Structure 1
């Protein structure tokens, strides 16, 4: 009976749908293929998720999209996730981040070439009105800038600790090095780091570096250290043969693709681990430029203080109000430099090429100008005596005796900066 029923049913379907048997099989085949496609898509999605997580470094992927706007960090210590110091829970709850020289606060000066950092570094150790002024013995060729009640340094800079993290160490080098070096020099304590720096108009800075190299500067002592290793000669091929590049022509200076003078400020302020350090093959150039610029802007904004060479008076005021310290002299605005005379000799092709080579620095500098004025206006609005203060910057009624030190006798064989 069972066989008969099945045969009748098949016969009925065959009568109603002449191609019934074929159509049923076709539907079953479609359903099977659909399941296969769904499984394939699911597998592809899972592979993509795991593959993306494996092949895309976390820091790089985090910067693929534009960076979210962060609060201005004026006058506040630098916070780094990878830094073993960080801020305590109490620090985070307290928004009063005043620089405490009696505690374990440290200013870290990120000194970029040809930005006026040599003069500013001298102001820090020579011209601040301090309870315990820095002392600069000629026999040491460095200054002791100790806290009022201990022999620990409150300043990490060329003129106090020397180039402990490498000659003209950048953001990547300093943030991974400062704490370890201070632990070696002093007791191991929890410190708060207040990063400071100066920037300069990019074209003038580039030409100033050109003139400096033309006179024989090399900065061979720079380590270019990133991810626990120095950059290789393949990553930064030398632009010249011999001991230096003395007498180089501007066109040759421009042509060298590995010349670190181009976009130097952006590179020195960015976290280079995000872009594979100095490995230009790590990612496409467009991605590298975009990420490096975004990182430099973010890091600049996170600094407790930065100044602009072209705005000496405003920079001095911001520093003094930020750290509640006073300079005993007014900063000088010197717009007549070797680079300014060089600019007038450029032909249109040279000017256009230099601007193209430094387009990241130009963008960064425009960002810095806006941020500087924002900080200036913010501090000015809080200052009831602004007009009087600003008019008499560098004029003190009482000042401790200045440090006796002859800067002309300071000989740093690794790096002699000249404006």
Structure 2
């Protein structure tokens, strides 16, 4: 009897130990910090697997894009293009074909951020002016929502963006406006003696999510009415979709029905050289106009030294840091639970199809951009012997403790102002 009692007690102790062990494994697997537990290598492995997958392609369209990108040359030039060389602009090939390249903040290098609405650019813009580990950090004035981002050795701008220089080239200036404006605006501030090197960067977002986010923003009263839409030496006169001061309370059907709604294919239009299609008053057919605009946007994306995707924040952070040799003092966070996601869940299949139809160019551009981003990510990863450690510890700088919090879909300090 005594032996049987001891056996029962022993089984009970063993059972408790097993239960505690299982509980510990579950806890470590789900709650342990990234810099402690090996189980959290999942994100690194998943990202690596994802980037490898984009290189292989999953169908005819993917194969076509991948083949074009892996040629490591620009897309073929359409005969209608009247290409302009951007004075002093350096592209991706200029950087990665030069083993000694570095972004020289002490010389005359300037980073130009092309900020497309509702792509997470406000958050990234704040990261640029508040969270970079710099010898001379940007000096920010809270009331003016502006920062002075000067070089370590003199009061000259190394960053051209909303929160540094302001909207010097117009509210949410596009590629056409920026490339014809940035140099002259900096000359007004600093003189024209400097031969600057320009590095254009941008963020691309899933077109359906971006479109719905813009719809919700406009529904709350945003207008961006101060945007200039400068092209060909004049400002475009684009008919408004509403008669009052704003379009507050607009339904999705009304939003989609306006033929001059600039939310449609916004990313393609803002990244294209609009002079090749006659700006906003083109005599081209819609088919030819769309083809030229998409091709131009793809070429411009391909020439940019850095493209980020809203949906892949850590890939973007790593790519930025490795490309420009700068480090952020915070780790970029992925916020997928946005208002646009909530809106998408309420759409009927017909509404979703219409959103996709209205943004068919952006959908093609996004797939192109995704291939491009992950091709470059693989290239950076391959030459980094400490990739896993670097990727796991992005934003961990012992000398800095700052952090920027911002909701992508929030109306707070959003881009309805023109300061």
Q: Note whether the superposition's TM-score is higher than 0.5.
A: yes
Tell me the matched-pair count.
Answer: 337
Q: Deviations over 1:20-40 (max 9, x none)?
A: xxxxxxxxxxxxxxxxxxxxx
d(CA) in 2 for partners of 1:404, 1:135 = 15
Q: Which consecutive residues of structure 2, in runs of 5 or more, have no partner in the other structure? A: 1-67, 76-82
105, 115, 128: which one aligns with 2:109: 105
216, 221, 230: which one aligns with 1:225: 230
TM normalised by structure 1 equals 0.75
Kindly tell me: are residues 363 and 329 of structure 1, through their superposed partners in 2, closer, same or farther at Cα, counting changes over 3 Å?
A: same
121, 126, 133: which one aligns with 1:122: 126
Q: Which consecutive residues of structure 1, in runs of 5 or more, have no partner in the other structure? A: 1-65, 74-79
- Report deviation, 1:377: 0.4
TM normalised by structure 2 equals 0.75
d(CA) in 2 for partners of 1:370, 1:68 = 10
d(CA) in 1 for partners of 2:286, 2:72 = 26
1:271 is aligned to 2:273:
yes
Counting only pairs closer than 5 Å after superposition, residues 283-322 of structure 1 correspond to structure 2 as 283-322=284-323
1:198 is aligned to 2:203:
yes
Equivalent in the alignment of 2:357: 356
- Report deviation, 1:85: 3.9
Equivalent in the alignment of 1:207: 212
- Report deviation, 1:268: 0.2
Equivalent in the alignment of 2:348: 347
Kindly tell me: are residues 204 and 403 of structure 1, through their superposed partners in 2, closer, same or farther at Cα, counting changes over 3 Å?
A: closer
d(CA) in 2 for partners of 1:146, 1:325 = 15
- Report deviation, 1:412: 6.9
Kindly tell me: are residues 341 and 157 of structure 1, through their superposed partners in 2, closer, same or farther at Cα, counting changes over 3 Å?
A: same
- Report deviation, 1:415: 3.2
Question: Helix, strand or coil for the counterpart of 1:143?
Answer: strand
Q: Once superposed, what is the RMSD of the aligned Cα atoms? A: 2.8
d(CA) in 1 for partners of 2:376, 2:85 = 27
d(CA) in 2 for partners of 1:367, 1:164 = 30
- Report deviation, 1:138: 2.7
d(CA) in 2 for partners of 1:368, 1:357 = 19
Kindly tell me: are residues 83 and 377 of structure 1, through their superposed partners in 2, closer, same or farther at Cα, counting changes over 3 Å?
A: closer
Conserved in 2, the CA contact under 8 Å of 1:127 and 1:327? yes
Kindly tell me: are residues 85 and 396 of structure 1, through their superposed partners in 2, closer, same or farther at Cα, counting changes over 3 Å?
A: closer
Kindly tell me: are residues 67 and 373 of structure 1, through their superposed partners in 2, closer, same or farther at Cα, counting changes over 3 Å?
A: closer
Equivalent in the alignment of 1:370: 371
Kindly tell me: are residues 171 and 350 of structure 1, through their superposed partners in 2, closer, same or farther at Cα, counting changes over 3 Å?
A: same
Equivalent in the alignment of 1:176: 180
Kindly tell me: are residues 306 and 144 of structure 1, through their superposed partners in 2, closer, same or farther at Cα, counting changes over 3 Å?
A: same
- Report deviation, 1:304: 1.2
Conserved in 2, the CA contact under 8 Å of 1:133 and 1:402? no
Counting only pairs closer than 5 Å after superposition, residues 324-343 of structure 1 correspond to structure 2 as 324-343=325-344
Kindly tell me: are residues 405 and 295 of structure 1, through their superposed partners in 2, closer, same or farther at Cα, counting changes over 3 Å?
A: closer
Question: Helix, strand or coil for the counterpart of 2:199?
Answer: strand
Conserved in 1, the CA contact under 8 Å of 2:122 and 2:414? no
Equivalent in the alignment of 2:138: 134
Equivalent in the alignment of 2:250: 248
- Report deviation, 1:396: 1.1
Counting only pairs closer than 5 Å after superposition, residues 82-101 of structure 1 correspond to structure 2 as 82-85=85-88, 96-101=100-105
Question: Helix, strand or coil for the counterpart of 2:148?
Answer: coil
- Report deviation, 1:239: 0.4
Conserved in 1, the CA contact under 8 Å of 2:330 and 2:403? no
Question: Helix, strand or coil for the counterpart of 1:169?
Answer: coil
- Report deviation, 1:306: 1.1
Question: Helix, strand or coil for the counterpart of 1:220?
Answer: coil
d(CA) in 1 for partners of 2:339, 2:405 = 27
